[in-house]
Amino acid sequence: MSLRYALLAALHESPATGYELTQRFRHRLAHVWNASHQQIYRELGKLHEEGLLTMTEVPQTEKPDRKLYQVTAEGEQDLRTWLTRPQPRPPTRDPLLVKLFAGDLLDLPALRAEMERLRMGWEQQLQTFQAIEQEHFSAPETLPQHYRMQHLALRRGILGIQASLRWLEEMEETLDQDN
């Protein structure tokens, strides 16, 4: 998948400026797709050139004009076409898992330190995702289908992190048994 479809999907929800999209990616879409401010603006320019987005300049006093992007009919059709195509699962490339294949050579204190860094990062990410869930999806049964689907994407992220944290517990138990 490319940033192209993440942007089309985000703009399908509602028109936005590049800055607003960057904020959506940081806050509401962090569990789905990561993109830098520069990547977003570069892709918005391409989508506009291809006629998949309109861009309206909104004047502001004492600031540069804002550029408001909206999906065109062609952009919506491109998104609909993409939605019908099965997408491959992204490949797993996890250095820690590779290290475990040479487990007899591992320095256990270094491994435990790496596991603790992972735990802290995953716990922080879990807190972020749970805050997004509380703020935007506190009563999912009352939301329109569009938002319920977004909530399902967030739930996958939450459940994946919870599973990773449980896996770290299993690793600790195994390491404790070996000592």
Q: What is the mean pLDDT of residues 33-50?
A: 91
Q: What is the residue whose two structure tokens read 């990773």?
A: 164
Find the angle CA(154)-CA(160)-CA(163) to the nearest 5 degrees. 145
Domain boundaries, the chain: 3-84, 95-178
Mean pLDDT calculated for residue range 123-146: 87
pLDDT-derived band of residue 25, with 50, 70 and 90 as boundaries?
confident
CB 29 within 8 A of CB 3: no
C-beta of residue 140 within 8 angstroms of C-beta of residue 104 = no
DSSP the chain: --HHHHHHHHHHH--EEHHHHHHHHHHTSTTT----HHHHHHHHHHHHHTTSEEEEEE--TTSPPEEEEEE-HHHHHHHHHHHHS--PPPPP--HHHHHHTTGGG--HHHHHHHHHHHHHHHHHHHHHHHHHHHHH-SSGGGS-HHHHHHHHHHHHHHHHHHHHHHHHHHHHHHHHHH-
pLDDT of residue 36: 85
* Share of residues in the chain with pLDDT > 90 (%): 50
Which band of pLDDT confidence, cut at 50, 70 and 90, is reported for residue 1? low
Q: Which residues are paired to 66 by β-bridges?
A: 58
The third-level CATH classification (topology) of the domain covering 3-84 is Arc Repressor Mutant, subunit A (1.10.10)
